[in-house]
Amino acid sequence: MGGYILRRVALIIPTLIGIMLLNFVIVQAAPGGPVEQLIAEMEGHGGGALARAGGGGGAEVSTSSGDSRGSRGIPEEMLREIEILYGFDKPAHERFFKMLGDYATFNFGDSFFREQSVIELIIDKMPVSISLGLWSTLIIYLISIPLGIRKAVHDGSRFDIWSSSVIVVGYAIPGFLFAILLIVLFAGGSYFDWFPLRGLTSPDFDQMTWYQKIGDYFWHLALPVTANVIGGFATLTLLTKNSFLDEIGKQYVVTARAKGLEERQVLYGHVFRNAMLIVIASLPGVLVALFFTGSLLVEVIFSLDGLGLLGFEAALNRDYPVIFGTLYIFTLMGLLLKLVSDITYVLVDPRIDFASREH
């Protein structure tokens, strides 16, 4: 097992570099980078943007015609200053290797368009994403485990068939479509105006009593969490069902029944403890899905100021330090959590041997 862990840790480095390289190439090839965006802002707004570029509010603007970007009204000297400001005075490969060197020491630099470092932005936005992810995970487990147990006990019944159909349909429909449907139905879209549409708290949150704050928090969280968890039931419910079915067919269950134990004692006194090991071990994988893939569009749709919305706005604004800084952290955490998930499987069920499967 130790050798397997070392190999997995060693593979994290090239995997991380490969993901960063692929996204670096894609982002560099996309039109409308930060240089072009600042030039457009300078042409549209003048002084404020000129000051950001180091040109000052009184900088002169060229009106000459030509093939360079200076023909758009920006002097060549200022174009060079802008490129130096954003690091585009160096070739792409030099910028990539410098980025890798900085990221190895978790130096992600500062945002191009926000007056904060990337680390400060991530720390500032993380509580919202954590709230959404943890409550979604809790609700998924509270519903999926009892549902999966009942489906296993009544395997092949009408309840098992129609509940499986509902679960599969819910899994097939993207979460953001459910989010839009919830807004239309319950957030003042076309029918009811029962829930707020934006944020996790009301404007007067600071003036509320402690119990009013709790109620206001869950009132704002209701629709985003609902949209986030609807598609998450399928995997865990079916995993629970199959795990219980596998345990119910084993010899120790037959022996327990032969001793005259009640079905409830057999199910919860013997089967539950063994069947739940695999379900519990899947928790890191569920967290990866909810934190790094499932909540992005939900945060955008409900205007939740979390990591998903931060990454979305950074992509729109071509804020490269934020894009690559969050990508690096998310990828690293995702790879580490997947490793933790594999180790957890082995700890809860020694019969699983990932190391032997590599040969």
Set out the domains of the chain in order of their start, with CATH numbers: 31-105 (no CATH), 119-357 (1.10.3720.10)
Which stretches of 53-188 are DSSP H helices? 76-85, 92-104, 118-153, 158-172, 175-186
pLDDT tens, residue by residue, 274-295? 777 777 767 766 766 666 665 6
Query: Residue 175: is it exposed, middle or buried by C-beta count within 10 angstroms (0-12/13-18/19+)?
Result: buried
H or E stretch including 334?
helix 320-348
H or E stretch including 110?
none
Closest CA to 307 of 328, 286, 277, 285: 328
Closest CA to 138 of 42, 196, 225: 225
* pLDDT attached to residue 250: 81
Percent pLDDT > 70 in the chain is 77
In order, the DSSP letters of 212-233 are: HHHHHHHHHHHHHHHHHHGGGH
Whether 204 shows a pLDDT value over 80: the answer reads yes
Percent pLDDT > 90 in the chain is 3
Q: What values do phi and psi take at 28, rounded to 5?
A: -65, -30
Average pLDDT score over residue span 72-87:
66
Query: DSSP 3-state assignment of 18?
Result: helix
pLDDT, mean over the chain: 77
pLDDT tens, residue by residue, 219-247? 988 888 888 888 778 888 888 888 888 88
Tokens representing 48?
């404020």
Single pTM value for the model: 0.72
pLDDT tens, residue by residue, 303-353? 888 888 888 888 888 888 888 888 888 888 878 877 887 777 777 666 666
Sorted by sequence, the CB contacts under 8 Å of residue 257 that are 6+ apart come out as 263, 266
In order, the DSSP letters of 121-155 are: HHHHHHHHHHHHHHHHHHHHHHHHHHHHHHHHHTT
* pLDDT attached to residue 18: 92
Whether 52 shows a pLDDT value over 60: the answer reads no
Tokens representing 156?
């092949």
* pLDDT attached to residue 333: 82
* pLDDT attached to residue 352: 64
pLDDT tens, residue by residue, 140-179? 888 888 898 889 888 888 998 998 888 888 888 777 788 8
Tokens 């990221």 belong to residue:
103
